[in-house]
Amino acid sequence: MDDEIQGRCCGRRGRPRSPRLIPEGTAFRCFGPLCERSGEIVLLLPEEVEALRLTDLEGLEQGEAAERLGISRKTLWRDLHEARRKVADALVNGKGIRIAGCRRKGAECPRSFCDNPEE
């Protein structure tokens, strides 16, 4: 799984991604629609999920959320925009959602959702 994250984050041009300050013990899960036909999965990065949680669930302003993650507002906006696009794609097109590095109380995600990661 670390290779997936490294391949996505470090294989592109430009500045390297700045580290996000995601709290320890944050549990991520995989989700899938009951009527899933295609078996397609959208891959969310942990920083995208944390950006969603802070802004949409906790209701923080983007400046406050960026400060908590230790990144700029523009970087937070990019992570948030990409996360919202991916979630909308999964909901509208009936795709599963997998979070990179996903864990369930210290164990791996159920294989039924994580066998075919996108990208």
Q: Is the pLDDT of residue 4 over 60?
A: no
The pLDDT tens digits of the residues spanning 24-52 come to 666 556 667 766 566 788 999 989 999 99
Which among 10-14, 28-32, 77-81, 89-93 has the top mean pLDDT? 77-81
Domains, the chain: 28-114 (1.10.10.10)
pTM: 0.63
Q: What DSSP string runs through 23-84?
A: PTT--B--B--TT--S--EEEEPHHHHHHHIIIIIS---HHHHHHHHTS-HHHHHHHHHHHH
Q: Is the pLDDT of residue 118 over 60?
A: no
